[in-house]
Amino acid sequence: MGSGAWSTDVYRAASAYRKASGKSAFAYSDSGARKVHPTLNPRGVTARESRDSAEHPQSLAITVLFDVTGSMGKVPRILQEKLPQLLGLLLRKGYATDPQILFGAIGDATCDRAPLQIGQFESDNRMDEHLGNILLEGGGGGQMMESYELAMYFMARRTTIDCYDRRGKRGYLFIIGDEMAYPKVKAREVRDVIGDRLGEDIPLRGIVDEVRRRWDTYYLLPAGSHYAGNRRILDFWRDLLGQQAVELDDLAAVCETIATTVALGEQACDLDTALADLHDVGAGDAADTVSRALARIGADRTPAVRGTLPGGSGHSDQVTRL
Amino acid sequence: MTGRHVAVVDLGYGDAGKGTVVDWFCATRPVEAVIRFNGGGQAAHNVVLPDGRAHTFAQFGAGTFHGVRTHLSRFVVVDPLALAGEATHLAALGVPDALDLVTVDREALLATPYHRAANQAREIARGADRHGSCGMGVGESMSYALAHPDTAPRVGDCLDPGLLRHRLTLLRDRLSAELGPLDAPPVADTVTAFTAFAQRVSIVDGSWTTRLLHAGPVVFEGAQGVLLDEWHGFHPYTTWSTTTFGNVDTLLSEAGMPGAVTRLGVLRVVTPRHGPGPLVTEDPTLRPPERHNGTNAWQGRFRFGHFDAVAHRYALDVTGGVDALALTHLDLVGAHRLQLCGGYDWTDRLPTGPPGDLDRQAALTARLLASRPRYAADPEPEPAAWVDAVRDALGVPVWLTSHGPTAADKVTRLTAAAGR
């Protein structure tokens, strides 16, 4: 007899059952599905909403969109595995009071079955279900471009977020990928994929400016992915987003990078404290990757709340690997 | 052993070695399945393999290392979260498909994070008066089901996410109204995990037990100990569970095989108790090495007493006797000064009463807390003499002895125990 010898963590259990069944979390995709799951289809959507509620009065919208083509196929699996940690960091470390997370997937509107898949803003692990319904494309066009601009169009015009509308606080948009965007949002693709009728195409820079009004936008480019070593990709995104185009040495640290970015953006703490927090929650392995990725961003933030660690980042002279 | 099936029950306060005995059965003879018939995720049956691998079996039967399937009957309180954690550990030990070996009765109650949080909140509120709860929410689940039999979440509900969500919300709201906010995850998270459990593990109806019992020899693996029984134990230091052979008899009768079982009572050469409550023979100087049990936040200290024949006699009386005994930890004999308590200062035999008279049980507890042990003249220095002394004190043959942690350390002593 005895006691609780075994973990009773609800997230771990869910993932253990999925793993144990030999089924991946992406049961929908792995079951041979060929088209976008109805819950993720952007077509005809009025808006994806992140709303305040009695339970979540300080909602903060966080969107994570990832490329699901080719070599990027493992990103959603990493996200799914690390999701509890991401939520735990945001909540337990007090980076955000009521984070609401939306997941979505980006393909290529010129040739893919699923050019855009968009979940719902969720504040609990129902977001897990959206992840599970994402269709993974594999393959990949090889022309170094994906329809990121179409995803940004959706975020700019088809989301309603209380954090901005009520409190003037921008949400966070993370795009994870390893290719460039097309130069224009094409009216035809918007009509086919989302259902809006546009009079004309929108230039890429126009939609980037528009989406950044309400969304603090980051591009995460994993090193080691297909084109990651390719300066052209990084330069392309740096040109659009400046230091918010971030290169990640290790894809496995994507959740930690997102959490730390939110911590810095919310001025919840400084980079050193956020890195110490990672060690705290057993994610110390990711701390190096995160610190290298975010050195530029962390260095010029003045935290509103001082951590217990001495301030003054020792990393400010480092830049991300170029 | 002439019964078609075997039931393994602890005649003390638990921790006598049911797990190692069940493991030995499954290692040495054909066993169709191990059926659990009481308790839940708080069981901790330790099994050590000859190659050093060790696992604390909580909801998986202690025969899992030998590929023997586990059935959790409707009398078990099932904890899907802990089951996943346990399966993960088994996988790390080289049993990758442990979940394939499990069937669960859909009528079984669920232990949930809300029961657990309520259980712990109550135990904290009791302060110094703790009952020795394991903090797993098993008793909480049983008591909730008594109060709300029609809406208590059960294993079968995990197949219907809408119904499960409704019942978990109701449970959470009721417990919160009583105890304040609970430290537990949102209902939606629990629904996700429990639904994944239902997709992964075979959920069966009551006829499954009958099928197993007709297919081949079954080992019924008890949890806890008779002296902790909800009706006959020393109130309030008891468990919300029937720890006697009662549920085994019920399952056999339902299968049309009443009595087709050999009852095996497990005892240690010392009488341990994990947590508070009477332990008449307690001896602070008696500190044999304890590999598996330590102090934990919920149950408190792991305590040792000398072999308490009076308490074990009472266990035999309330459970209607056993066919044979399995006596474990004989390797302690000679290494420690062990004594045998044959009587207390006021009696050699505790009075039994009708089940469920808790006032009577509480009075018995008070009496025990004031009792003094009387020890037999000389501690036996030899294992064989010890075995005979236990047999004589309890009037039951010792059929199996254990001299170490693995199945290889077990010795059978008789050609046959009286079968039923």
**pLDDT tens digits for range A49-106:** 999 988 789 999 999 999 887 667 677 777 777 776 777 778 778 889 889 999 999 9
Chain B CB contacts of A130 below 8 Å: none
Q: Which residue has the higher pLDDT, B2 or A46?
A: A46
Would an 8 Å CB–CB cutoff place B116 in contact with chain A?
A: yes
132-171 in B: which are within 8 Å (CB) of A? Answer: 134-136
- What pTM value is reported for the model? 0.64
- Annotate B239-285 with DSSP letters as a single string: -SS--SSHHHHHHHHHTT-TT-EEEEEEEESEEEEESSS--TTB-TT
d(CA B226, CA A34): 58
Whether omega for the bond prior to residue A42 falls within 30 degrees of 0, making it cis, is: no
d(CA B289, CA B280): 21
A35 CB-contact burial (10 Å; exposed 0-12 / middle 13-18 / buried 19+): exposed
**Tokens standing for residue A10:** 């609800």
Chain B CB contacts of A14 below 8 Å: 84, 189, 192-193, 196
Chain A CB contacts of B185 below 8 Å: 10
CA dihedral B384, B387, B392, B395 (to 10 degrees): -140
**Tokens standing for residue B261:** 């079982």
d(CA B210, CA B196): 27
Distance from CA of A127 to the nearest CA of B (A): 10
End-to-end CA distance of chain B: 9
CB atoms within 10 A of CB A228: 18
Chain B CB contacts of A4 below 8 Å: 41-42, 58, 82, 134-136, 298
**Tokens standing for residue B315:** 């266990």
Chain B CB contacts of A6 below 8 Å: 41, 56, 58, 82-83, 85-86, 89
In this predicted structure, what is the pLDDT of residue A8? 82
Would an 8 Å CB–CB cutoff place B113 in contact with chain A?
A: yes
User: Which residues in chain A land under pLDDT 50?
Assistant: 1-3, 22-23, 302-322
DSSP 3-state assignment of A215?
Answer: strand
d(CA A171, CA A214): 6
In this predicted structure, what is the pLDDT of residue A319? 30
d(CA B119, CA B135): 6
What would the pLDDT profile of B280-320 be if each residue is shown by its tens digit? 999 989 988 887 776 555 566 789 999 999 999 999 999 99
Give the list of residues 6+ apart from residue B143 with CB closer than 8 angstroms, or none: B240
Q: How large is the angle between the packed helices B161-179 and B187-200, nearest 10 degrees? A: 140
Shortest CA distance from A15: residue in chain B? B193
Residue B12 has pLDDT above 80, yes or no: yes
Shortest CA distance from B80: residue in chain A? A13
Would you say A208 and A241 are in contact if contact means Cβ atoms under 8 Å apart?
yes
Would you say B296 and B133 are in contact if contact means Cβ atoms under 8 Å apart?
no
Inter-chain touch A1–B14, beta carbons under 8 Å? yes
In this predicted structure, what is the pLDDT of residue A315? 33
Amino acid at B399: W
The 3-state secondary structure of A150-177 reads: HHHHHHHHCEEEHHHHCCCCCEEEEEEC
- Residue reference for tokens 């509120």: B125
320-379 in B: which are within 8 Å (CB) of A? Answer: none
Letter string b/e over residues A111-143, b meaning 16 or more CB atoms within 10 A of that residue's CB:
ebebbbbbbbbbbbbbbbbbbbbbbbbeebbee
* B3 band by pLDDT with thresholds 50, 70 and 90: confident
Helices (H), B201-238: 207-215
d(CA B13, CA B243): 10
d(CA A74, CA A84): 17
Mutation choice for A interface testing from B114, B165, B189, B227 by most A CBs within 10 A: B189
